[in-house]
Structure 1
Amino acid sequence: MVTGDAAYIKKINRSLIIRKIIKEGMISRADLSKAVDLTRATISAQVADLLEEELIIETQLEHYSVGRKPIMLSLNNQAGYALGIDLDYGQISFTLSDLLGKPVSSTIIKVNTVDYSETLHLLIEQIKKYKAEFTDSRYGIVGIVIAIHGLVSKNEVIHYVPRQQWEDINLKEDLEKEINLEIYIENNANLCAFAERVYKHHETDNLLCTTLYSGIGLGMMMNNEFFRGHDGYAGEAGHMIVVPGGKPCNCGNKGCWEKYSSESSIFEYLSNKRKIENLTYEHIQNWFNEGDEEVQELMEQFIYYLSIGLNNMINMYNPDVLVLDSELLRMYPEALNKIRENLNSSISHYRELLISSIGKKSCVLGACALAIQNFLDVPMLSLPYER
């Protein structure tokens, strides 16, 4: 039994109620009382507060065959908006969602600079546009989460971003000086893992998500929380050495995993070998369709080294679910089965291995979801996913 002062207990009960309403979509007061094991009087008082705050709404079921039509409770998804931002090299993706994580507006801006001051100005300008445009709700924009493709400390300072060469930058503080909104900074792989947990794997407590695009990132959800390590830098699995003395990496080591099993390594090799400056997924898909032997061999090698790293991740963390986020794997026939065939150690244990069905949107959707979770002050969300 939970003990503590009345305000603390009320906060816990409120969290239970909000989370259950979101998970069920629609639920009556009576069913809610049973589901969260709280008295009807407690439910009535909490629901009255949430209705007054416009966080939930009531709907009467029209088609109900027996007795009185029950009044159903659901989250008021139009009460506010969450803004997710993926701050990547060469482009910034903005997605605004409602309080159920459904995107209502998305923008991608190409960026031709790595200068921090210019990037900061661009962010401020775009955020102010969103803030001005979406004021037609009770709470407006409830929070902003920015995904960083690099090291983010526990106090949300950007320690290092390899491709932009940013070091020890306090983007959160710089933005909050100009914008009166809640700002959160988070590693991109963590947000991908969060999106998988929130939108797809609602009953999974321990989840790993490996992103394979510009490098290799590892997002880790352990007991429904981010696993960050001592300073917040855990998850840099791309710089695990899989080939001692191998290809040199920007981190200073040789033979890092991401030099062999990231999509950028494939694109870089084929772009140089075939003299194609702006290589696309379409090029590679056509080569797959044509049965191009060199590309087939390259993908087999990609999967071989990917499997080595995954085997290490599985043995270290024993995840329930392991999600791979890669467009190349989605395109390549039998990719998942080939990976599974390489994971044949008798001591490697996991329940499910799969390729992400959310894909490249997972980072920015995870950012929206984290902003919603912080606003609603619940320990975990289960949101519906719509393609």
Structure 2
Amino acid sequence: MITGDAAYIKKINRSIILKEIVKEGLISRADISKATALTRATISAQVADLIEEGLIIETQLEHYTVGRKPIMLSLNSEAGYALGIDLDYDHISFTVTDLKGSPVRSKRIEIDTNEYSEIIKVLINQIEKYKAEFADCRYGMIGIVLAIHGLVGKDEVIHYIPRLKWNKINLKTDLERQIGINIYLENNANLSAFAERVFVHHETNNLLSATLYSGIGLGMMMNNDFFRGHDGFSGEIGHMIVVPEGKPCNCGNKGCWEKYSSESSIFEYLSETRQMKHLTYQHIQKWLDEGDKEVQTLMEQFIFYLSIGLNNMINMYNPDVLVLDSELLRMYPDALEKIKGNLNSSISHYRELLISTIGKKSCELGACALAIKHFLNIPMLNLPFENR
């Protein structure tokens, strides 16, 4: 036997057992054995360790009419807390969840600068507050994941954020040096896709999620992992050209998809034409309710160009599930049916096309879920989405 084999097998068995407990929420030792084919002795030894470590707890079912009341196992949700951060160009959003992915704190801080030194101060200040608040629980803050609206390499170095004009920034190292907690950086669209997989689409192994807020990003989950491409830059689908020689884009090209079908393109146009600096979704909803012809025409164009890009994505990737994350689509009547009506190519194949039910929090929740996954060291999380 090679030295370390027993320890490695023990680690694998622990991961299998934890994954099953998280997936089921409440489960007995006997049912873990049935689901995993591990022996009762192996499960008993592992469970004893996990209870001693404070990661799982035992609960006796009170309303059980036949035989002895079974002892059920569940994840100790209060053993530690995860922090997800969405770093966008005009604000930073923070969400803290327990180990079951349920939010317990959230905050949004507006920013009006792209200066790295100023933004990192905001990040450190807020992280330190959360770190102190949850210091008394068993594992404290178990991990922090930042969502980046730009190019993040496999080395977790920020290579480019168009809106902030950041190039070659090692935010992970700078934060870890100050905070002393594991920091992970990931593309925002990838984290939204991860949230869809973890909280909603548990049986899907081939999922695409397009986020349409400040730009257009594509998160890709394939076989329970991110598809990142060679350097980690895949998914920048917003810079696919849909109108040759069209509107100029910050990336240097003209006619990029996100200049026509991102929510920011709608907000920028209406802010300019209606001379409203602080335009909100409520304004757009009001105009739609009033039957504003210009806004309705703008939304129809939004859907038209969105459909062009989606057709390309479907033909390229043949997804099982394709999720669209957009508040405007949730607001606009029959948006999904109108999109599907534009996807009439005989070679376009997908099983489900959906508008996200998680909404704008998907990025932060995905970030928290990824921190939990790293902490528990399990291959995939399946968590319920109720009451989030």
Count of residue correspondences: 384
1:176 shift after superposition:
1.1
User: Moved runs in structure 1, 4+ residues, more than 3 A?
Assistant: none
- Determine the structure 2 residue equivalent to 1:223: 223
1:112 shift after superposition:
2.0
- Determine the structure 2 residue equivalent to 1:126: 126
Tell me which moved more, 367-376 or 279-288.
279-288
DSSP 3-state at the match of 1:167: strand
- Determine the structure 1 residue equivalent to 2:85: 85
Q: Which amino acid aligns with 1:356?
A: S
Counterparts in 2 of 1:93-172, with a 5 A limit? 93-172=93-172
- Determine the structure 2 residue equivalent to 1:184: 184
Q: Does 1:18 align with 2:18?
A: yes
1:105 shift after superposition:
0.9
1:130 shift after superposition:
0.9
Q: Cα deviations across residues 306-364 of structure 1 (Å, max 9, x unaligned)?
A: 00100111111111110000010000000000000011111111110000111100000
Q: Which amino acid aligns with 1:327?
A: E
Task: Output the aligned Cα RMSD.
Answer: 0.9
Tell me which moved more, 281-290 or 207-216.
281-290
How many angstroms apart in 2 are the aligned matches of 1:187 and 1:106? 20
Tell me which moved more, 273-282 or 246-255.
273-282
DSSP 3-state at the match of 1:233: coil
How many angstroms apart in 1 are the aligned matches of 2:307 and 2:148? 26
How many angstroms apart in 2 are the aligned matches of 1:181 and 1:262? 34
Q: Which amino acid aligns with 1:156?
A: E
How many angstroms apart in 1 are the aligned matches of 2:90 and 2:288? 27
How many angstroms apart in 1 are the aligned matches of 2:337 and 2:56? 44
DSSP 3-state at the match of 1:84: strand
- Determine the structure 1 residue equivalent to 2:280: 280
Q: Which amino acid aligns with 1:37?
A: A
- Determine the structure 1 residue equivalent to 2:45: 45
How many angstroms apart in 2 are the aligned matches of 1:97 and 1:272? 38
Q: Cα deviations across residues 73-105 of structure 1 (Å, max 9, x unaligned)?
A: 000011100011111111111111100011111
Counterparts in 2 of 1:1-387, with a 5 A limit? 5-385=5-385, 386-387=387-388
How many angstroms apart in 1 are the aligned matches of 2:172 and 2:215? 24
How many angstroms apart in 2 are the aligned matches of 1:328 and 1:112? 24
Q: Cα deviations across residues 29-72 of structure 1 (Å, max 9, x unaligned)?
A: 11111011111111111111111111100011111101111100
DSSP 3-state at the match of 1:304: helix
Q: Cα deviations across residues 247-281 of structure 1 (Å, max 9, x unaligned)?
A: 11111101100011011111111111222222111
Task: Mark the runs of 5 or more structure 1 residues left unpaired by the alignment.
Answer: none
Q: Cα deviations across residues 349-382 of structure 1 (Å, max 9, x unaligned)?
A: 1110000111100000000000000000011100
Q: Which amino acid aligns with 2:309?
A: G
1:128 shift after superposition:
1.0
DSSP 3-state at the match of 2:167: strand
How many angstroms apart in 1 are the aligned matches of 2:18 and 2:346? 42
Q: Which amino acid aligns with 1:348?
A: S
1:136 shift after superposition:
2.0
How many angstroms apart in 1 are the aligned matches of 2:343 and 2:182? 43
Q: Which amino acid aligns with 1:366?
A: G
How many angstroms apart in 2 are the aligned matches of 1:276 and 1:183? 38
Q: Cα deviations across residues 129-174 of structure 1 (Å, max 9, x unaligned)?
A: 1111111211000000011111000000000011110000000000
Tell me which moved more, 310-319 or 271-280.
271-280
1:121 shift after superposition:
1.4
How many angstroms apart in 2 are the aligned matches of 1:76 and 1:186? 26
DSSP 3-state at the match of 1:106: strand
How many angstroms apart in 2 are the aligned matches of 1:180 and 1:266? 41
Q: Cα deviations across residues 161-220 of structure 1 (Å, max 9, x unaligned)?
A: 111100000000001111111110111110000001001111111111001011101111
How many angstroms apart in 1 are the aligned matches of 2:353 and 2:9? 39
TM-score relative to the length of structure 2? 0.98
DSSP 3-state at the match of 1:49: helix
Q: Which amino acid aligns with 1:244?
A: P
Q: Which amino acid aligns with 1:271?
A: S
DSSP 3-state at the match of 1:220: strand
Indicate the percent of aligned positions where both proteins have the same amino acid: 77
Q: Which amino acid aligns with 1:51?
A: I
